[in-house]
Structure 1
Amino acid sequence: MQNETNTIRFWPVMLAIFFGSFLSILGISSINIALPVLMNEFSSDLGTVQWVLTGFMLSLGVVAPLTGYLGDRFGYKKVYLYAMAGFVVFSLLCALSWNMSSLIAFRIAQGAFSGLVLPATMTIIFQVMPMDKRAFAMSIWGLSATLAPAFGPTISGWLIDHYSWPWLFFFNIPIGVVAILFIQWMIPDYRVSTGKPLDKSGLAAVILSSASLLLALSEGREWGWTSGRTLGLLAAGVVLLALFIVRELKARHPLLNLRVFGNGRFSVTLVSSTIITISLYSGTLLVPLFLQNVQAVTPLDAGIIMLPASLIMALAMPLAGKLYPAIGPRWMVVGGIVLILVGSYEMTRLQPDTSYLFVILWMAVRNIGVSMAYTAASTAGMEEIPPELTGHASSVSNWVRNVGGSFAIALFTSLLISHASRHAGELAAGGRQTGAAGLAYTMSVNDVFMAATVIAAIALPFGLLAGKKRQLKAAPAAAAGAQEQTA
């Protein structure tokens, strides 16, 4: 391995990053359309089938803390490369699943490899790209993550309509192989720090904490929110999370360097971007369920209806990256959150016969807001982090966002089921029979969108706290010449 200080080639590196990030997020967005299909295929209820998505996101979130350790030890290119290889292998196994339990198990393993991709690619951007290109690079990174939900539902609907649900996973394999080749050829092999011992206690604590909290949120409706199992898991999750934080702050070689939270800008923008992520997932979860369960559209039609708003988000992401240097994070985050609030509130007014144009319009408004706020918050949060800590900062960022997203999906699903049952009872008691099931389900979707609106409002004050960037003395590590780099 030889040391080089050649200029980083922007587009080849970003192309390699683009493919992997796209595929990683496609693993989330492609399955939303398939939830009703999987319920019929395996004769399962929504509470069980949602683990195909929630289990993926849980493992995607809890494995993120490992990225900093693995990246320091092996280099982020190798982490990214092997993560994509694992993703492809488990995509094949998901396609070959024989029952719901095997599919959930393989999805959890697939999510573990996928969870290494986003923090690894974010770290590569902040370690190899010159500072003046990082905002645009982050918008391309964000574009890859938004094109997946843009095309994912449509691709999924077409595959289900013309083939069958296993093709949702077969589809990943050729794209994954192309991504692996691009990673090997286009990303420089480098390391900016040496490997450290693995904090096994910290890893065990964060996995058990996240699993306990998510299981309580997912099953609390079934067990009862005041039952011993639910309260016990919630208490265990909180205690283990507290132990993890104490452990990481005291450990000589922490799994996650939580001292990155000492940077106020990083902390406040992470809160904003986590809430923005929750808002994004609320729409991608609820709209396909509403269209298929209430308006009885096919999976393909549901994907086509969702496509325009998702494409608008994808197109707005690079524009947000270009606007960022001129506008700065504060007003881009606040403006984006306001659009999310407006769009989410309008989606609380759905009716069983609501027009597709109404759904497209207000989902587009939400998605423009997501593009603006997410790009600004993600870039602002990482700008002040020293190069040697970017791996830990990106791991922390993706851990918090993805675990928050998995909790949100579990909570939204539980709310949707419980409110649908409650509204159905109220309509029956009132003598309503014709169209009662569709109306009850629509009312529950509106309730969950209202919950998502309230959650989004919490992000506003944090957006206002995202001030101007402090000037860092350190130069970009890999752009200035990494400790180890090969073309």
Structure 2
Amino acid sequence: MSKKIKYALFIMVFGAFFGILCSTLMNVALPTFMKVFNVPSATVQWISNGYMLVNAIMIPVSAYFTKRFTFRSLFIAFTGVFLLGTLVGAVAPNFFILIVARMIQAIGSGMMMPLVNTLAIRYAEPGKKGAVMGIVGLAFNFSPIIGPTLSGIILNFFSWRYLFILVIPFIVIDLIFALKLLPKVPTNQEPAFNVEGLITVSLGLLGLLWSFSNVSQYSIESITVWLPFVIGVVLITIFVLTQKDSDHPFVNLNVFKNSQFTTATIVNSLIVSTMYGNTILLPLLIQTIMGQSPIISGLALLPGAVLTGFMSPVSGRLFDRYPVRIIVTTGILIDCFGTMMQAFIDVNASVAMLTVGQTIRQLGLVLILIPIQTQALSFLPNEMIADGVAAFNTLRQIAASFGTAIIVATINITSHAFMGHAHNQQIGIQAGFTMCLAFLIIALFMSRKLYTQHSSTPKAHKHPHEKLSHI
């Protein structure tokens, strides 16, 4: 990998780190927003859900943009969009403007994320893809875990506006470096844009995410749950059928014909749903049941987040040295053990015990996420990597939203079922952890289909003289 590529990768990872950080940075602050803007819990959830929704919609768009424009122009433009959203959020006078600011942020972040993946997997040298993706993992897997910890600390000393203000200087610095150091190499592709695909997948995702978000507030029989779900399913079905016959698909669904890509993507989606769900479960247990402050719930996540930061590059190197099935299976089993510690914890247990369980979970997670992402993308031919990145990351964001919604719904349904019990809320949260465990067990069975790519298998890379194209 040339110095130019290394500089480009560092700059993009740094920017994407803060984009993904903001996906969970607001989670601990939701009760604060409810008080400040006098909005109910069903409304305040859109600070997180709206962000994830726009992220999910933007990621498929990246497949077109990365073929049409250079990495330099795309990263600079969408980093600027992210900065604009952050500035608007910092001065938002009301809740509506705050939601708009979050969605502007998500437009920028949703484009930055796949750019990093595409650059890393396309230009990493054979045999070093895992190590390179391990560096990328610092942005994708460390930042959403450290988000609640940073949020708790910031809210303990400053107002909620500093959740935006403190991000601004880092994005400005990254933008300056991008303008100075990102190489300027033109692209020769002229793909057509599939408007029908954009409309159907965007509205379909909106319907599905809306439905799953409402499950925690309304019964399944409610029209606010089943109607958007039906609309979402119909539109996604139309999207799939029309994309198959399109000469210029919005996202090339042929990536799912590769069994290793499909298996790895499903396993990743299941794992990510538990990761994001836990950023809500643990603070809820510590603050609601144990009566501790937001900063304590944030600090409970800190050791696991630090471990993720140290282990991400290591887990990438493991992919280059050991069979992927062994790595992923080991990681899932460790994650299951940590999850069981949390699921069956007593009401009088200490925060320290929860922290130990969370740290064990993160050890398992960090062993899985980098290898599984590298596995999915390494089996695709080079010309399909942009489409593979778009599909992989879109499903990652959808899994984060759906998983969180399902886990929260499990908590509410179980709590209501044990309404007469003295510890019904704790039982509900334990049910949420048990749902995470169920997702992990399914992932464990799916991971048995993974296999290691042998040297005789065609690699998804270019010749050395092609390394700088499309930057």
What TM bracket, shorter-length normalisation?
over 0.9
Change (3 A) 1:166 1:132: same
CA distance in 1, matches of 2:411, 2:365: 23
Are 1:444 and 2:428 counterparts?
A: yes
Shift of 1:239: 1.2
Deviations 1:431-472 (Å, cap 9, x if unpaired)? xxxxx4xx3322211111111110111111221111121545
Q: Which residue of 2 aligns with 1:141?
A: 136
Are 1:60 and 2:60 counterparts?
A: no
Shift of 1:304: 1.8
Shift of 1:231: 2.1
Q: Which residue of 2 aligns with 1:464?
A: 448
Shift of 1:475: 6.7
Q: Which residue of 1 aligns with 2:461?
A: 476
CA distance in 2, matches of 1:157, 1:83: 28
- Cα contact 1:76–1:123 (8 A) shared by 2: no
Change (3 A) 1:62 1:396: same
2:92 aligns with one of 83, 88, 97: 97
CA distance in 2, matches of 1:182, 1:285: 35
CA distance in 1, matches of 2:352, 2:54: 36
TM-score by length of 1: 0.91
Shift of 1:297: 2.2
CA distance in 2, matches of 1:159, 1:17: 25
AA of the residue aligned to 2:84: V
Shift of 1:411: 2.4
**Structure 2: any 5+ residue segments left out of the alignment?**
none
- Cα contact 2:382–2:461 (8 A) shared by 1: yes
AA of the residue aligned to 2:67: D
Deviations 1:83-124 (Å, cap 9, x if unpaired)? 211111101112222333332232123212211111111001
What secondary structure does 1:131 align onto? coil
- Cα contact 1:190–1:482 (8 A) shared by 2: no
Q: Which residue of 2 aligns with 1:360?
A: 355
CA distance in 2, matches of 1:222, 1:160: 27
Shift of 1:76: 2.7
Q: Which residue of 1 aligns with 2:192?
A: 197
CA distance in 2, matches of 1:26, 1:473: 35
**Structure 1: any 5+ residue segments left out of the alignment?**
1-5, 428-435
Q: Which residue of 1 aligns with 2:385?
A: 390
Q: Which residue of 1 aligns with 2:82?
A: 87
AA of the residue aligned to 2:371: A
1:13 aligns with one of 5, 8, 26: 8
- Cα contact 1:128–1:478 (8 A) shared by 2: no
Change (3 A) 1:441 1:464: same
CA distance in 1, matches of 2:392, 2:176: 27
- Cα contact 2:128–2:320 (8 A) shared by 1: no
1:75 aligns with one of 66, 70, 75: 70
Deviations 1:222-256 (Å, cap 9, x if unpaired)? 44312344222211111111111111111101110
- Cα contact 1:67–1:79 (8 A) shared by 2: no
CA distance in 2, matches of 1:110, 1:7: 31
- Cα contact 2:134–2:312 (8 A) shared by 1: yes
Shift of 1:160: 1.1
AA of the residue aligned to 2:372: A
- Cα contact 1:47–1:414 (8 A) shared by 2: no
Cα root mean square deviation, aligned: 2.1
- Cα contact 2:216–2:408 (8 A) shared by 1: no
Deviates more, 1:226-235 or 1:256-265: 226-235
Change (3 A) 1:393 1:479: farther
2:219 aligns with one of 217, 224, 228: 224
Deviates more, 1:377-386 or 1:353-362: 353-362
CA distance in 1, matches of 2:23, 2:44: 14
CA distance in 2, matches of 1:391, 1:75: 13
Shift of 1:483: 7.2
CA distance in 2, matches of 1:381, 1:134: 12
The residue correspondences of 1:85-484 to structure 2 (distance < 5 A) are 85-190=80-185, 194-423=189-418, 425-427=419-421, 436=422, 439-470=423-454, 471-473=456-458, 476-477=461-462, 479-482=464-467, 484=469
CA distance in 1, matches of 2:40, 2:295: 22
Deviates more, 1:96-105 or 1:131-140: 96-105
- Cα contact 1:150–1:314 (8 A) shared by 2: no
TM-score by length of 2: 0.94
Are 1:31 and 2:60 counterparts?
A: no
CA distance in 1, matches of 2:467, 2:187: 6
* Runs of 4+ deviating beyond 6 Å: none
What is the count of residue pairs matched by the alignment?
Answer: 470
Deviations 1:149-188 (Å, cap 9, x if unpaired)? 3532232222211111111011111111122223333443
CA distance in 2, matches of 1:228, 1:151: 37
CA distance in 2, matches of 1:47, 1:478: 52
Deviations 1:390-446 (Å, cap 9, x if unpaired)? 1111011001111121112222233333433443x222xxxxxxxx4xx33222111
Deviations 1:247-291 (Å, cap 9, x if unpaired)? 111110111001011111111001111111111112111111222
- Cα contact 1:57–1:111 (8 A) shared by 2: yes
CA distance in 2, matches of 1:186, 1:477: 23
- Cα contact 2:325–2:447 (8 A) shared by 1: yes
Shift of 1:145: 2.6
What secondary structure does 1:480 align onto? helix
AA of the residue aligned to 2:283: P
CA distance in 1, matches of 2:381, 2:23: 31
- Cα contact 1:269–1:381 (8 A) shared by 2: yes
Change (3 A) 1:479 1:126: farther
AA of the residue aligned to 1:452: C
AA of the residue aligned to 1:344: T
Change (3 A) 1:245 1:478: farther
Change (3 A) 1:362 1:346: same
Change (3 A) 1:374 1:484: closer
Q: Which residue of 2 aligns with 1:430?
A: none
